[in-house]
Structure 1
Amino acid sequence: MKSLLKIALSGILLCSGHFLMAQERKTVTGTIVDAANRDVLPYATVVITEVSSGTRVTGTTTDENGDFEVSTTAADFLVEISFMGYQNKTVRDFDTRQTIDLGEITLSPDAEALDEVVIEGERSTVEFKLDKRVFNVGSDISSTGAGAMDVLNNVPSVNVSIEGEISLRGNTGVQILINGKPSVLADEQSNALGTITADMIESIEVITNPSAKYEAEGTSGILNIILKKEEKKGFNGSVSANTGTPDNHSIGVSLNRRTDNFNFFTQFGAGYRSLPSDNESINSNLLDNTEVRSNGTEYRNEAFFNITLGTDYYINDYNTLTLSGNFAYEKEDQPSETTLGFFNAEDVLTSEYLRDENTTANNPKYQYDLQYKKQFRNNEDHVLLFSTLGSFFGKDQSSEFTNTPTVGSGADPDQRTATDFYQHDFVFKLDYTNPFSEQFTLETGAAYEINNVGNEYAVFNLENDEWIADESLTNNFEYKQKVLGFYGTGAYEGEKFGVKLGLRMENTDLNTLLTGTNEENEQNYTNFFPSAHTSYKLSDNHSLQLGYTRRISRPRLWDLNPFFNIRNNYNVRRGNPDLQPEFADSYEITGIFIFEKASLNSSVYHLYTTDVVERVSTFENNVNITMPMNIGTNRKTGLEINGKYTPVRIITLSGDFNYGFFQREGNYEEQNFDFSGDQWSLRLNSKIKLPADFDLELTGNYESGYPTVQGEVSGFAFADVGIRKRLWNGKTIVNMGVRDIFASRIRESYVYQEDFSVYDFSKRGRFFTLGISYSFGKGEAMTYSGRR
């Protein structure tokens, strides 16, 4: 019995020893290189597979030096290595000691590997949600080493031009979020988005009709880039240089370093650009048949510098802290000339003078952002997000206008202006999302926004060699606005049918004051903004969505500021401190169809807007004064169609068409403004992949004319072309573009009244651009477009 017991104990100890040995953690290291030229292969995939079960137990990727380190507790395993464009390799023979150094492992190029991955790998798909569409990034994109811009360009309804301008359903001004929150990485004005690579992106959410969760102020739509949680390692960056004519010169550098706990990002750029504009106007006095005609070229030359610094700190798997800041400085110079001629009833020039402008301005600006995100353990979508944003913009500007007679002697006096402007903005937000189950989700939160603006503006006239203040145009304008909002939404989403209801409440407290005359305007109003969305999935690739939202468009600062511009003192623009906000009810039904080679969105919409803001002209002493006014209502019903089609791999065609019929009703100063009209626009885009890694892009645009409350605006057509050359597997990109090839983007407006008429003409002209970008790290080079 004792012998049997000893044998049993010995067996138990022996098995325990083997079990403990099997649980010992082993570390495998090595370096992956190209078999042909011995170059290191960064971001190759290394997988540990257990021999007995064939299960992949763990894995990693190589760093920028081709090195890797991975740990496992498996007793008997093999190492599998793969990299895009190379033959896979399996390493089986090595000593199973605690530290295993595989040394230098070579991979041989495989010309057919790319095609195999595209065919056999997981393809990108579109998933329909209640109030959004989700583009899931598959291995057909994430394995190609592309950048975030290339991923966006594959999303239905989204277009990215060669210069990096992002549009959604043909509309620019798209808000871009990273993981549901604003980020300097998503700032389209910088190159920071270029540091995000395709294999970091899990999905992109497309929101064309935002729910009550988002601010009620209007937007062209939202793109939310969701990053993979496991993609926290790597160093990415790009350097860009641009030049062009008219002057458009810039350099930019973007860097992004991701570790297990930190994501550091920075972007800085500097440049100089010039924006000339040819202008012409005719003021006709129909009572005495006299005219004032002006024409000239206005310039806006800018030298700029900006730097952005920020970091995401991953406290643990459930808590993230983000801190970022941006500082920029702009120096403006506006040398412009305008010729003003005065004609009598017989159309004879009686006098003429040249108005020469010399304007300089210094514009400092900064922004900072602090965000805290908490994810709960029960569900990755159960999230609490707090964010605060502060910004400042200043302008110290002075102008001098010199009037030199060229015909006759009737020139207006010389003038000077001085502007001291500042704007402080603060935003505090709290958002909470709780998915109670796979079908039911609750969202709630609050936001508080503060806008504090001051604009001290002075005009001086030269009289008897002395500068005398023009009291009618000199004043200090103070603007303070506070918006407090609360929202709640509830959603049910089944396999085919879903509904989402929401309500947002916003209180607006606005105060404007002209300190010189003590004219004060106080507005305090509370509004409710409901939203309702429902969707029905006809199939995996076809869906119907129905949405309703109520929106607000508050008056912009410059629409409220009564002293605005005297660049041409016979065409003066002024603000209106009594301006009220517009309110709009938006109804939309959309059919979404995703085919193998094409996607199509078709929407029928109706928009009912009250207190519509229109720019109204008044005429006094041949001076045209334009001010924004609230005039009546607008009912607009329209059709929007946009689609993307890839007949063959090398050609992508996209188009956006929008037609709307509107009915206006309103009165102003006993004048009836009831009328109706229509307006339509068309945008066609083609992208062609040429041999030798060249990409060609052609874009054509047309915007029709339309009637206004006092006249009409003419239509115009224009075209852009761009070509891009990829070098060294996309690490370097050279691009050249021509905007407005035929210099046909001409804006003309007409005002027809019983006692006067006004004609305005403006043209920017043709722009040539040339840029080069080089990237290092995972992604392809992204272009820094030279924007401010």
Structure 2
Amino acid sequence: MNFQFIKLITFSFLLLFVSYSHAQTIEIKGKVIDETSKEPLAYATVLVANSETKQPISGTTTAEDGLFYLNTDAKKFYIEVSYIGFISKNFNQFNVKNNTIDLGTFTLAEDAAQLDAVLVQAEVSRTQFKLDKRVFNVGKDIASTGASALDVLNNVPSVNVDIEGAISLRGNSGVQVLINGKPSILTDDGGALGSITADMIESIEVITNPSAKYDAEGTSGIINIIIKKEERKGVNGSVSLNTGIPDNHSIGVSLNRRSEKFNLFTQFGLGRRSYPRDSEGINTDLDNNTTLINTGTEYRNEKFYNITLGTDYYITPNDVLTLSGNFAYEIEDQPSNYNFQLFDENDALESEWDRNETTEATNPKWQYELVYKKDFKDHDDHDLLFSITGNSFAKDQNSLFNDVTVAGEDYDAAQKIRTDFAEDNFTFKLDYTKPFNQQWSMETGGQYVINDVSNDYQVEDLEDDVFVTDTGLTNIFNFNQNVLSVYASGAYQGEKWGLKGGIRVEHTDLKTLLETTNESNNQNYSNWFPSLHSSYKFSDVVSLQAGYSKRIYRPRLRDLNPFFNIRNSYSIRQGNPELQPEFTDSYEVTTIFDIGKTSLNFGVYHRFTTDVIESITTAEDNVSTSRPENIGTNSTAGFEFNTKYSPINWLTFNVDFNFNYFNRVGTFEDQVFDFNGDQWTSKLMTKFKLPTDIDFEATGNYQSDYETVQGNTEAIAFLDLGLRKKILKGKGVFSLGVRDAFASRYFETFTNQDTFTNYSKTTRGRFFTLGFSYGFGKGEAMEYSGGKRR
């Protein structure tokens, strides 16, 4: 597997060498000022175009002081400098000295006629419905600001980006971010999007109820960033330094070079971080009237290193080949200390002991992708996309647990746990889009996904000074799942009304095997996933969108794997290899109102899910065991509201509210789980633009309590704060963040049954972060935290 990745990286270096060795780069520089005021013109457009075809080759915008720098490998070209409301200036003859063209300082004159037209018809960013998605068109009001892709996303209705760069849709994380309709390693970590600037983005598509084109596997949504074909060329980059309490220290560098033929990018970083967690549990045996109380703190300390390399090679202006890869390596140390107290039926302390853990692990990770995209010349949306993506993850973990008696009955014991884990995932995908005219179009394609996992798990108990294997807890769990999909859809898009229908067929082949005990579970099934979407534009202010899709949730490895590290031997979680998938019918109607500076979004939805997967807890002698099971159906109906409003230039509010009512019906082992309930979530993000380029952000979250199949989960309210200061004309950024300012973000659950009750509470506490980042070229300062945790 590693050898394949090395070949990919070697090819990337070859492409890098070829791009530099076959092109003589010419640097172009100059300064643009206003002819009347003699003041510098910031954000004027500087374009390098082919002398014969007039097609754009390279480009940039001027800085605050009117200066610009860009590079080109072209032989025959001219230079055009333009600015809204000014007469453009062309340079067809120039002197090249030491591979440099210095245009010096020159002026642009105002164009009165153009200024009048600009006043009448300003190009502003707007949102519109397109059948199964909402499209945010980036106008010059944002494109000319020099902002990054993350800043643009924060202007999109229903999308939020917090001050640390985390992206959410409708208040939910887990969003899939695409670039020009294809996955990219650049989107795996929000900080890498800092190399994409606002003037490079044409539009952003938001898909909340995916059509047949996309995986039937449920997600919280899809965001697709459409890059302009005339991408800005040159060298972009950024560097980031971060520190925090508890320990969270990192350094990251992102580099990007664009030329006529190549877009070369890399990102690398290293650091260390610590994730402490406090927990409390109370297990009560109602048959014996005994109670076990446990409290403790566990840590996950990590050192991490990662590097990303990749290139986009433009075979022709309409044919792009992307090759990229990422390697990350983590070294983990996980100490924990738990105290246990056992009380008898008279509430008298019967025994007390401590359980101490020492765990060490190493985690190598690989990611790689090969993508080919062809844009046909007859239509902007006529394209073919083929991609191969893969990732590998391994864990070599060893744990030692020591139980030491503090009082009462002897509970001294020692236990060793060893885990050798390996996972490989591959995705092969082909998509073809064909517009027949301005109204009618079709999409078709296929996908094949391979998921292969092996988990070698061994538990040893100390007996007479010798560690002996516990055969009841030791096994090798193998998981192999292959999913083959094909889809087709057709669409009609008129001036006001549109309709899109499609069908997706997915065949799943799943095999699990416990090698030691020879227990297997094979599942082989095919499913149809229809989708139907429609939209209607009443006016430029009001639009309506409706959609239906069928979704599936296939049990993950965590749901299926019966063996996990037993940190708390009295609160055990197991997987269930015999779980069946969930199926959901999803209906949604959404309307959008564009009112001045405000965009209001209101939607209602209904979801009906069968074979719902729920975690069921059983208990004996104060030992609770949780295991996922398929239990009945869930019918959910709800509504959501979100808006983004800026009453004044320095103040912005983002509001998200979601309420749903659910009806659960199900039976498991003669126990009936029929009940009704409701829950709601809300979020208010307030952003202040303060003097001297300071941004302040406060985000309040509230999640109501709700009933579960065996108990209830308590409500949560928490507040995150962020402060950001721009320096060096926006190229440098200092940031300060406080996550969970009042240490009120905790997870608290109750399980109430006839023979036992359980109480559990976990919290991570308050986090402080401080960072500095600097962008050069056209790169924007980025937030970097070492990439996503697994």
Name 1:14's counterpart in structure 2. Answer: none
**Partner SS for 1:185:** helix
Name 2:368's counterpart in structure 1. Answer: 368
Matched residues in 1 for 2:170 and 2:553: separation?
Answer: 21
1:375–1:341 Cα change, 3 Å: same
Name 2:311's counterpart in structure 1. Answer: 311
Superposition map of 1:56-95 within 5 A: 61=59, 66=69, 81-82=81-82
Q: Quick one: which amino acid aligns to residue 194 of structure 1?
A: G
Matched residues in 1 for 2:559 and 2:69: separation?
Answer: 57
Matched residues in 2 for 1:388 and 1:48: separation?
Answer: 34
Cα distance per residue 1:118-144 (max 9 Å; x no partner): 997521122220011111111111111
1:655–1:362 Cα change, 3 Å: same
Say if 1:576 and 1:628, in contact at 8 Å, map to a contact too: yes
Name 2:349's counterpart in structure 1. Answer: 349
Q: Quick one: which amino acid aligns to residue 333 of structure 1?
A: D
Q: Quick one: which amino acid aligns to residue 537 of structure 1?
A: K
Q: Structure 1 residue 81: deviation in Å? A: 3.6
Name 2:389's counterpart in structure 1. Answer: 389
Q: Quick one: which amino acid aligns to residue 737 of structure 1?
A: G
Q: Structure 1 residue 383: deviation in Å? A: 0.7
Cα distance per residue 1:678-719 (max 9 Å; x no partner): 111111110010011100101100001111111111111000
Q: Quick one: which amino acid aligns to residue 140 of structure 2?
A: S
**Partner SS for 1:150:** helix
2:490 matches 1:487: no
Superposition map of 1:544-563 within 5 A: 544-563=544-563
Name 1:21's counterpart in structure 2. Answer: none
2:429 matches 1:426: no
Q: Quick one: which amino acid aligns to residue 320 of structure 2?
A: T
Matched residues in 2 for 1:528 and 1:92: separation?
Answer: 58
Q: Structure 1 residue 408: deviation in Å? A: 2.0
Q: Structure 1 residue 41: deviation in Å? A: 9.5
Q: Structure 1 residue 377: deviation in Å? A: 2.0
Matched residues in 2 for 1:460 and 1:602: separation?
Answer: 56
Matched residues in 1 for 2:699 and 2:125: separation?
Answer: 26
Name 2:743's counterpart in structure 1. Answer: 743
2:138 matches 1:137: yes
Q: Structure 1 residue 224: deviation in Å? A: 0.5
Name 2:14's counterpart in structure 1. Answer: none
Say if 1:126 and 1:541, in contact at 8 Å, map to a contact too: no
Matched residues in 1 for 2:772 and 2:43: separation?
Answer: 25
Name 2:203's counterpart in structure 1. Answer: 203
Cα distance per residue 1:266-319 (max 9 Å; x no partner): 111111111101001111000111011111001111111110000001111221
Cα distance per residue 1:81-129 (max 9 Å; x no partner): 4569xx968769998999998842246999xx99x99997521122220
Say if 2:402 and 2:412, in contact at 8 Å, map to a contact too: no
Matched residues in 1 for 2:211 and 2:310: separation?
Answer: 30
1:394–1:46 Cα change, 3 Å: closer
Name 1:12's counterpart in structure 2. Answer: none
Matched residues in 2 for 1:267 and 1:57: separation?
Answer: 31
Name 1:171's counterpart in structure 2. Answer: 172
Matched residues in 2 for 1:129 and 1:631: separation?
Answer: 37
1:118–1:657 Cα change, 3 Å: farther
1:404–1:379 Cα change, 3 Å: same
Cα distance per residue 1:325-348 (max 9 Å; x no partner): 010001111010000111001111
1:315–1:470 Cα change, 3 Å: same
Q: Using the TM superposition, name which of 56-65 and 177-186 deviates more.
A: 56-65
Q: Quick one: which amino acid aligns to residue 543 of structure 1?
A: S
Q: Quick one: which amino acid aligns to residue 766 of structure 1?
A: R
Say if 1:513 and 1:519, in contact at 8 Å, map to a contact too: yes
Matched residues in 2 for 1:31 and 1:669: separation?
Answer: 76
Cα distance per residue 1:4-56 (max 9 Å; x no partner): xxxxxxxxxxxxxxxxxxxxxxxx997413779x999998534799xxxxxx9
Q: Quick one: which amino acid aligns to residue 491 of structure 2?
A: A
TM-score, length-normalised on structure 2? 0.89
Name 1:181's counterpart in structure 2. Answer: 182
1:413–1:262 Cα change, 3 Å: same
1:516–1:223 Cα change, 3 Å: same
1:413–1:96 Cα change, 3 Å: closer
Cα distance per residue 1:165-224 (max 9 Å; x no partner): 11111111111000000011222x252211111111111111111101000001111110
Say if 1:486 and 1:504, in contact at 8 Å, map to a contact too: yes
Say if 2:82 and 2:89, in contact at 8 Å, map to a contact too: no
Superposition map of 1:669-680 within 5 A: 669-680=669-680
Q: Structure 1 residue 565: deviation in Å? A: 3.1
1:67–1:516 Cα change, 3 Å: closer
Matched residues in 1 for 2:275 and 2:90: separation?
Answer: 64
Name 2:229's counterpart in structure 1. Answer: 229
2:128 matches 1:149: no
Say if 2:404 and 2:413, in contact at 8 Å, map to a contact too: no
Q: Considering only CA atoms, is the larger Rg found in Structure 1 or Structure 2?
A: 1
Q: Using the TM superposition, name which of 223-232 and 245-254 deviates more.
A: 223-232
Matched residues in 2 for 1:350 and 1:29: separation?
Answer: 80
The size of the alignment, in residue pairs, is: 745
Matched residues in 2 for 1:30 and 1:740: separation?
Answer: 48
Name 1:215's counterpart in structure 2. Answer: 215
Matched residues in 2 for 1:523 and 1:294: separation?
Answer: 40
1:632–1:58 Cα change, 3 Å: closer
2:270 matches 1:270: yes
Matched residues in 1 for 2:401 and 2:536: separation?
Answer: 62
Matched residues in 2 for 1:413 and 1:507: separation?
Answer: 48
Q: Quick one: which amino acid aligns to residue 696 of structure 2?
A: L
Matched residues in 2 for 1:212 and 1:424: separation?
Answer: 26
Superposition map of 1:334-483 within 5 A: 334-411=334-411, 413-483=413-483
Say if 1:232 and 1:260, in contact at 8 Å, map to a contact too: no
Matched residues in 2 for 1:340 and 1:529: separation?
Answer: 50
Q: Quick one: which amino acid aligns to residue 135 of structure 1?
A: F
Superposition map of 1:669-748 within 5 A: 669-748=669-748
**Partner SS for 1:219:** coil
Matched residues in 2 for 1:268 and 1:109: separation?
Answer: 45
**Partner SS for 1:380:** coil
1:30–1:418 Cα change, 3 Å: closer
Name 1:565's counterpart in structure 2. Answer: 565
Q: Quick one: which amino acid aligns to residue 756 of structure 2?
A: F
Q: Quick one: which amino acid aligns to residue 622 of structure 2?
A: N
1:93–1:729 Cα change, 3 Å: closer
What is the CA RMSD across the aligned residues, in angstroms?
3.0
**Partner SS for 1:559:** helix
Q: Quick one: which amino acid aligns to residue 377 of structure 1?
A: K
1:778–1:348 Cα change, 3 Å: same
1:148–1:404 Cα change, 3 Å: same
Q: Quick one: which amino acid aligns to residue 428 of structure 1?
A: F
1:251–1:98 Cα change, 3 Å: closer
Q: Structure 1 residue 541: deviation in Å? A: 2.9
Superposition map of 1:464-613 within 5 A: 464-613=464-613
Matched residues in 1 for 2:437 and 2:472: separation?
Answer: 64
Matched residues in 1 for 2:108 and 2:568: separation?
Answer: 69
Say if 1:33 and 1:66, in contact at 8 Å, map to a contact too: no
Say if 2:167 and 2:190, in contact at 8 Å, map to a contact too: no
Q: Quick one: which amino acid aligns to residue 66 of structure 1?
A: Y
1:480–1:48 Cα change, 3 Å: closer
1:731–1:754 Cα change, 3 Å: same
1:438–1:157 Cα change, 3 Å: same
Name 2:297's counterpart in structure 1. Answer: 297
Q: Using the TM superposition, name which of 372-381 and 544-553 deviates more.
A: 372-381
Say if 2:698 and 2:719, in contact at 8 Å, map to a contact too: yes
TM-score, length-normalised on structure 1? 0.90
Which residues of structure 2 form unaligned runs of 5+?
1-25, 62-66
Name 1:18's counterpart in structure 2. Answer: none
Q: Quick one: which amino acid aligns to residue 152 of structure 1?
A: L
Matched residues in 2 for 1:97 and 1:675: separation?
Answer: 80
1:149–1:692 Cα change, 3 Å: same
Name 2:18's counterpart in structure 1. Answer: none
Name 2:159's counterpart in structure 1. Answer: 158
Cα distance per residue 1:238-268 (max 9 Å; x no partner): 0001100011111100011110111001111
